[in-house]
Amino acid sequence: MPFPAFNIDGVIPPFVGARGPGDSRTYMSPHEASPVEVIARLGGTPQRRNILKGWLAHRMELRAVGVVTGFQWLDGSFVEDKEPNDLDIVTFFRRPLAAPTAATMAELMMRTPSVFSRAQVKEAHHLDAQLVDLNATPEAVVDLTRYWAGIFSHRRGDLMWKGMLKVDLDDRDDDLASLVLEVDP
């Protein structure tokens, strides 16, 4: 099912259905989307397309260092009906085979700050990027998920409930999505 359109308040709704969020897990946030769908539906302006190019580049950089399994939550003003400055993402990832422990993962992150440093990723790609290591303790994963779900489920300013998007890292349609970006809307 495609992710829902912006509602009258200019946000992706947190759920769809007459019976509320308990209607079906497929009708509630985070709404699943492919890279191609995100670009086709949210890449309507030059600023948005530039941000999306950065997002796709960062996804390729994650794969290049071995982060190939997981998913991303997309949120912020980018998933609202307004012109954004950046894209807020949380990448929930499984550690690469080359970095199976917390210590080796920390080493990888230190060696590749262009991929993992929040400041460097923001500067290079217009992404406010956060990370959740799915190989961490279950308590840590639950706590971070609770935190990000709480932050991402409300619009800043008026605290309106809103939805977010979920895009698999395993989705290799990024190259196709890049082609979609090259076509003028």
Give the per-residue SS3 of 80-145: ECCCCCCEEEEEEECCCCCCCCHHHHHHHHHHCHHHHCHHHHHHHHCEEEEEEECCCCHHHHHHHH
**Which tokens in the block code for residue 2?**
């495609």
d(CA 107, CA 14): 37
CB 87 within 8 A of CB 78: yes
What average pLDDT does the segment 20-27 reach?
60
Asked if pLDDT for residue 19 goes beyond 60, the answer is no
Could you read off the pLDDT of 38-77 as tens digits, one per residue? Answer: 999 999 999 999 999 999 999 999 999 999 999 999 999 9
Could you read off the pLDDT of 114-136 as tens digits, one per residue? Answer: 999 999 999 999 999 999 999 99
**Which tokens in the block code for residue 51?**
């941000």
Between residues 9 and 15, which one has the greater pLDDT?
A: 9
Torsion of CA 63, 140, 12, 122, to 10 degrees: -50
Q: What one-letter code names the amino acid at 14?
A: P
- Strand ranges, E, within 6-103: 31-32, 70-75, 87-93
Specify the pLDDT at position 18.
Answer: 62
List, in sequence order, every residue forming a beta bridge with 178; answer none if it has no partner. none
SS3 15: strand
